[in-house]
Chain A
Amino acid sequence: MSATPAVKTFVIDGVDASARPEQTILAAAREHNIFIPTLCHLDGLSDVGACRLCLVEVKGARRLLPACTTRVEEGMEVTCNSPRIAAYRQMTLQLLFAERNHVCSVCVANRHCELQALATSLGMTHVEIPYRFPSLTVDASHERFTLDHNRCILCTRCIRVCSEIEGAHTWDLMGRGIQSRVITDLDQPWGESDTCTSCGKCVQVCPTGALFQKNRTGGQGCKDPSFLPYLRTMREEP
């Protein structure tokens, strides 16, 4: 017998809303059909609060808070879309586009890319931040998949799905700051990885063209991460 959980009531973008205990601002906002952009968040994976696109204003809070990791509290007043937040989101996207080599027209994920879709929906018309044009490699050593560092935005979804869902922990990060990059095992070629089960979950959750199936060319790299919440539900203790 557990006590009936108290429902939290709060205001989001001027609309009265409710949330279950422990529910995040992001989850509650989606239930109320309020759009908050995300990149590192993915239903079915743990949240890391890293991409900073879901930052929202909470009345009384000193700083902007990530909607994906902040729990709703009774009486909270949340603003998801203000000119200030919109400007920050645009700049965050620009920083990503300028960080590595994102050339949509020749990308396997063209029209199936979450970064591209966000740039469109948030109205990013141009990039005023200088492009860095780093020299990055492509790892095509795996039999079925390819890793293209040029398109990676370091959202760490591949790392989380591999460790939390598949349980293989093939993926990880090395280096720090602007030098960070994803690696397989101890920075071996993906095709020589002892731990990779070739399940392909990492490819499906990758929001861009960084991870893709072989034999796909420009614009053919569809992704479908919708299996994740089902897997989670199936595995939950009754």
Chain B
Amino acid sequence: MTTLTEELDQITAKVQQEQQAAGDRINVCVAAGCLSLHSDAVQRALEEEAKKTGARCAVRGVGCMGLCSAGPVVSHESAASNSDEQAARLYGGVQSEHAPQLIASLQGEPVTKLAISRQLPFFTRQTKVVLENSGRINPESIDEYIATGGYRALMHALNEMTPAEVVQEISASGLRGRGGAGYPTGLKWATVARVAGAPKYVICNADEGDPGAFMDRSVLEGDPHRVLEGMILAAYAVGASQGYIYLRAEYPLAVKRLGIAIREAKRMGLLGNDIGGTRMSLNLEIRLGAGAFVCGEETALIASIEGHRGTPHPRPPYPAESGLWGSPTLINNVETYANVPPILQRGSAWYAALGTAKSKGTKVFALSGKVRHTGLIEVPMGMTLREIIFDIGGGVAEGHTFKAVQTGGPSGGCIPESLLDIPVDYDSLTQAGSIMGSGGMIVMDDSSCMVNVARFFMEFCMSESCGKCIPCRAGTAQMYGLLTRITEGTATHRELDLLIRLCEMVGATSLCGLGQTAPNPVLSTLRYFKHEYLAHIEDKHCPAGVCDCAASIAEVAR
């Protein structure tokens, strides 16, 4: 009887053989970004063309390749180049009518008018760990994940390591939570492992909701098995037998692919009872979130899984002690779990060598806003904001100047030009008045009004507040009202003073992270762009020309 490890090796050999036989690989991005530009039609056109001409190639739908602004993106890996990503040709803006040209070019020169240079800093400056498979494997095939070395870390841990050793390895890697707060992952695992009580639960927080953030979606759409493997490893480490993935229903493609991944993993015996012939059992289920931002907060998320209204409750007790149905619960973010298999496969020392002293590894960012190359990037911790925005992102459009970059979504802040040389790690960003957050990065140029930006985020917090505690429920509504008055040019210094005091009070007294961090966009813009606030208040003028202060001018004239 073959063991599961041997079976994985057989599958790997089979996939490699098939790929050799099929010839060149044409990868079409069918993640949400490119799919919205009808990349599925491009994929069909390429498949038909390949069939018609009898070209020796396999057309596959894959996950995000990163450069979303150039979508739909298609890559061509020649059979000869084996698995060297840099050697693959990359095309952007591909439409169905380009299919004949692309198929015809397989053996010859690349199609120049669609080609994207692999030498762009956008590609060369990145370090891919979490996204190493994204855009290179078919996310709906477990075999292709296995062929990249997938589930080997799990088999190794189950057969050769004790749960305590797995926790030790994660602690030694220095991995910190990728959901935003940066809590040491090893410490969290060790706490849940130590707490007595059964059953224990593992939860994956996939309720990504920050405006402009799509890291977790891309990981789940591009490489779902990596997240599953990380969760199974976590369950082994802490002794959990049941797990939930709390995924927002607004990500239907991720729901579908994750569902397929769970089914396939079960079929292979990698989920369910007696995983890989060991005594380890784990049952995983998807729970769909119904579009409430606050359900990304861990206690609210747990309440929602339990079937209650998704509202947070005071901590302590922390979920590690008393979480889902009062049991010890480990809850981590998608990207955190996605980091686990490579750490166990390549060792904590390898991982700890990436990044800075206090922030290890890489971080995935969703780069968006007023920047040339928008999309999904992964960089080592410690890279400066300037490198990310100007080298990888290509800077702002011509004729405009950079003004600020917003990190951390509605919980984060805006960082001005003068601080662009700070390294991107948890502590530096916090010092600058923002946070690492889950990885949203919105670039703003001189056409953005910072008061209006603060107002936008406050409106978001106001409508996403659950309403349970007074400071967040009534405070965000009041702050939004005051910010609106400033943008309308009807506010005085009295309103600004009240706004500042409300910011302080709401931050200090709110029940959960949503309210506690809701004032951050206001506080950080006040710190670096106070002159814009004053221009609205004193001169009834919006320096960026965004806000309409005409209302107050009409009033004065009257």
Name 5 interchain pairs, CB-CB below 8 A, sorted by A: A87-B505, A95-B474, A99-B473, A176-B292, A177-B467
Docked Cα-Cα span, A180 to B316, in Å, equals 26
Q: In the assembled complex, which residues on chain A have CB atoms less than 8 Å from the CB atom of B502?
A: 91, 129
Distance of A132 Cα from B471 Cα, bound (Å): 15
Asked if A173 meets B475 with Cβ closer than 8 Å, knowing A91-B502, A129-B498, the reply is: no
Interface string of B440-477 (1 = CB under 8 A from A): 00000000000000000000001111111111111111
Q: Are A48 and B468 in contact (CB under 8 A)?
A: yes
Closest CB pairs A-B (n = 7): A180-B467, A177-B465, A49-B314, A95-B474, A178-B477, A99-B474, A177-B467
Min CB–CB distance B337 → chain A (angstroms):
27
B509 interface neighbour in A88, A128, A178, A180, Cβ under 8 Å:
A88
A50 contacts B511, C-beta separation under 8 Å: yes
Cβ contacts under 8 Å, B482 to chain A: 130
A98 within 8 A of B: yes
Which of B292, B316, B465, B509 contacts A92, CB < 8 Å? B509
Any B CB within 8 A of the CB of A221? no
The reply to whether A51 and B475 contact each other, CB–CB distance below 8 Å, is no
Distance (whole angstroms) from the CB of A184 to the closest CB of chain B: 16
Interface string of B475-512 (1 = CB under 8 A from A): 11110011000000000000000100110010011110
Q: Which of A69-107 contact B (CB under 8 A)?
A: 69-70, 87-88, 91-92, 95-96, 98-99
- B508 A173 Cβ-Cβ under 8 A: no
Measured as residues with beta carbon below 8 angstroms from the partner, the interface class of chain B is 20 to 34
Checking B467, B476, B511 against A52 with a beta-carbon cut-off of 8 angstroms, the contacting residue is B511
Which residues 43-62 of A have a CB within 8 angstroms of B?
48-52, 55
Say whether A178 contacts B468, CB under 8 Å: no
Binary interface encoding of chain A residues 140-173 relative to chain B, with 1 for a CB under 8 A from any of its CBs, else 0 = 0000000000000110000000000000000011
Summed over the interface, the residue pairs from A and B with CB atoms below 8 Å come to a total of 98
List the B side residues contacting A48 at CB < 8 Å.
Answer: 313, 468
In the complex, what distance in Å separates the CA atom of A153 from the CA atom of B473? Answer: 11
Q: Does B314 contact A178, Cβ atoms closer than 8 Å?
A: no
- Kindly state whether residue A209 has any CB partner on chain B within 8 Å: no
A147 to B465, CA, bound (A): 24
B309 interfacial by beta-carbon distance below 8 Å: yes
B68 → chain A closest CB, angstroms: 31
Residues B286-345 near A (CB distance < 8 A): 292, 294, 309, 313-314, 316
Q: How far is the CA of A180 from the CA of B474 in the complex (A)?
A: 11
Contacts A66-B314, A176-B466, A178-B467 given: A95-B511 contact, CB under 8 Å? no
How far apart sit A178 and B476, CA to CA, in the bound complex (Å)?
A: 9
* Pairwise interchain contact A178-B470, C-beta atoms closer than 8 A: no
Q: Which residues of B contact A177 (CB under 8 A)?
A: 462-467, 472-473, 476-477
Residues in B whose Cβ lies below 8 Å from that of A49? 313-314, 469, 511
List residues 98-135 of chain A with CB under 8 A from any CB of chain B: 98-99, 128-130, 132
**Beyond known contacts A91-B502, A129-B498: 19 more, CB 8 A cutoff:** A49-B511, A52-B510, A66-B314, A69-B314, A88-B505, A91-B501, A95-B471, A95-B478, A96-B470, A98-B474, A99-B470, A173-B309, A176-B465, A177-B463, A177-B464, A177-B465, A177-B477, A178-B474, A180-B467
Give the complex CA separation of A48 and B508 in angstroms: 18
Residues from chain B with a CB closer than 8 A to the CB of A173 are 309, 467
* Contact B508–A88 (Cβ < 8 Å): yes
Q: How far is the CA of A98 from the CA of B472 in the complex (A)?
A: 14
A64 proximal to B (CB < 8 A): yes
A91 and B500 alpha carbons, distance in the complex (Å): 13
Q: What is the CA–CA distance of A217 and B502 in the complex, to the nearest angstrom? A: 36
Most buried by A among B463, B465, B474, B501: B474
A contact residues around B309 at 8 Å (CB): 172-173
A129 to B309: give the CA distance in the assembly, Å: 30
- Min C-beta distance of B496 to chain A, whole Å: 13
**Please, how many angstroms separate the alpha-carbon atoms of A173 and B36 in the complex?**
37
Nearest-Cβ distance from residue A150 to partner chain B, whole angstroms: 15
Q: How many angstroms from the CA of A129 to the CA of B470 in the assembled complex? A: 14
Cβ of A92: which chain B residues have Cβ within 8 Å of it? 470-471, 505, 509
B465, A95: Cβ atoms closer than 8 Å? no
Give A207 Cβ to nearest chain B Cβ, in Å. Answer: 13
Taking CB atoms and an 8 Å cut-off, the chain B residues in 491-544 that contact chain A are: 498, 501-502, 505, 508-511, 516
Q: Is A235 an interface residue (CB 8 A)?
A: no
A50 vs B316: C-alpha distance when bound (angstroms): 14
